[in-house]
């Protein structure tokens, strides 16, 4: 079972993602990023966080500690934003906490210059994301952090935010048909580092056994495995996750990502996409001033208020 903590102080919401997690202090004196059951993504996002995060840990990848975080909305009574208060009120009880990595940096092209990304490690991350159908670790949203490992100053990659993985569990009726489905991982955050997915597959696929998957699935609390048609209870749903991921691991030769564009190719694709979007905009919209390119005081607002001839 994951370690349990209780929130004692709500520090601040994090608005960088749609789920609006919160930074809290807990009764073990630790600081955690808590993802709430009342968020728009719901409990299935927390199920994905646990299964994918703990599977990654057992496969040798770095993931901040996950904990079962008990939350009483009373500890956040001074939070001024009503929409955040609504989220917290609907999240009383058991939520998911992730150890806050103090001083960690988001993995960006600039920040990545401080570390060497090993092709095998990159391959393992891509392989895990392909196995668990994690579509949210891209060049635009890496969900990777750079932080030293304990006892060293050497920066390392840490994996976070797996709530968008396991997309099959949103449509259980079609899950079996997608076991060997290939997904487009050309935009993966680590694609430009030459991921050795073949070596990763050879090492990791044999380790994804039924016993390992059952161990990971057992960490998901019953109350997050909501009742759905076709499942008699939480244990039967856990076994459905196990069955799907075990079958997908065996089919890795079908879905294994191997084709990754260079930085230059990605830049050219982005430029072409932006040009196509601009070409499809109505003429009047092309004349709206760029409010992000210059301060408001420097904008030429006259074009925005021209009368049509």
pLDDT digits (tens, 9 = 90+) for 157-176: 999 999 999 999 999 999 99
Measuring CA to CA, which residue among 291, 50, 302 is closest to residue 163? 50
CA atoms 237, 238, 241, 247: torsion sign: negative
pLDDT over threshold 70, residue 305: no
Distance (Å, whole) CA 50 – CA 66: 7
Would you tell me the crossing angle of helices 234-250 and 119-131 to the nearest 10 degrees? Answer: 130
Q: Kindly indicate the confidence band of residue 309, based on its pLDDT and cuts at 50, 70 and 90.
A: very low
Distance (Å, whole) CA 279 – CA 204: 45
Q: List Cβ neighbours of 68 (8 Å cut-off, separation of 6 or more).
A: 1, 2, 3, 4, 5, 94, 95, 96, 97, 221
Measuring CA to CA, which residue among 83, 43, 24, 26 is closest to residue 170? 43
pLDDT at position 303, please?
35
In terms of average pLDDT, the best of 41-45, 138-142, 196-200, 298-302 is 196-200
CB 241 within 8 A of CB 169: yes
Mean pLDDT of 2-24: 91
For 166-198, give the secondary structure using H, E and C: CHHHHCHHHCHHHCCCCCCCCCECCHHHCCCHH
Mean pLDDT of 293-302: 42
Q: Is residue 134 classed as helix, strand or coil in its secondary structure?
A: coil
pLDDT digits (tens, 9 = 90+) for 61-78: 999 999 999 999 999 999
Beta-strand pair 105-106/144-148:
antiparallel
Q: Kindly indicate the confidence band of residue 55, based on its pLDDT and cuts at 50, 70 and 90.
A: very high
- Computed over every residue of the chain, the mean pLDDT equals 89
Q: Kindly indicate the confidence band of residue 108, based on its pLDDT and cuts at 50, 70 and 90.
A: confident
pLDDT at position 267, please?
79
* Region of residue 32 (phi > 0: left; psi between -120 and 50: alpha; otherwise: beta): beta
Mean pLDDT of 213-225: 97
pLDDT over threshold 70, residue 222: yes
Q: What is the dihedral of CA 234, 212, 100, 22, to 10 degrees?
A: -20
pLDDT at position 289, please?
55
């Amino acid at each position: 079972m994951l370690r349990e903590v209780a929130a004692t102080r709500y520090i601040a919401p994090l608005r960088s993602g749609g789920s609006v997690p919160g930074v809290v202090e807990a009764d073990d004196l630790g600081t955690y990023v808590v993802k709430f059951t009342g968020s728009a993504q719901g409990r299935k996002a927390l199920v994905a966080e646990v299964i994918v995060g703990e599977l990654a840990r057992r496969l040798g990848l770095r993931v901040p500690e996950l904990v079962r975080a008990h939350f009483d909305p009373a500890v956040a009574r001074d939070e001024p934003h009503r929409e955040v208060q609504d989220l917290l009120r609907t999240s009383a009880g058991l939520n998911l906490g992730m150890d806050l990595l103090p001083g960690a940096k988001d993995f960006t092209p600039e920040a990545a210059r401080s570390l060497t990304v090993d092709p095998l490690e990159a391959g393992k991350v891509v392989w895990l994301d392909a196995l668990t159908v994690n579509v949210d670790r891209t060049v635009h949203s890496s969900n990777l952090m750079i932080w030293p490992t304990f006892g060293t100053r050497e920066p390392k990659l840490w994996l976070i935010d797996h709530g968008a993985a396991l997309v099959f569990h949103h449509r259980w009726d079609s899950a079996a048909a997608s076991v060997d489905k290939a997904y487009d991982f050309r935009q993966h955050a680590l694609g430009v580092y030459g991921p050795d997915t073949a070596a990763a597959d050879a090492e990791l696929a044999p380790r994804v056994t039924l016993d390992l998957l059952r161990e990971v699935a057992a960490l998901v609390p019953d109350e997050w495995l909501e009742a759905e048609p076709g499942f008699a209870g939480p244990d039967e749903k856990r076994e459905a996750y196990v069955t799907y991921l075990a079958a997908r691991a065996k089919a890795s030769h079908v879905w294994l990502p191997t084709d990754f564009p260079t930085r230059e190719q990605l830049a050219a694709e982005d430029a072409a996409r932006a040009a196509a979007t601009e070409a499809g905009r109505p003429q009047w919209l092309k004349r709206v001033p760029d409010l992000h390119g210059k301060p408001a005081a420097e904008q030429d607002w006259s074009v925005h208020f021209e009368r049509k001839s």
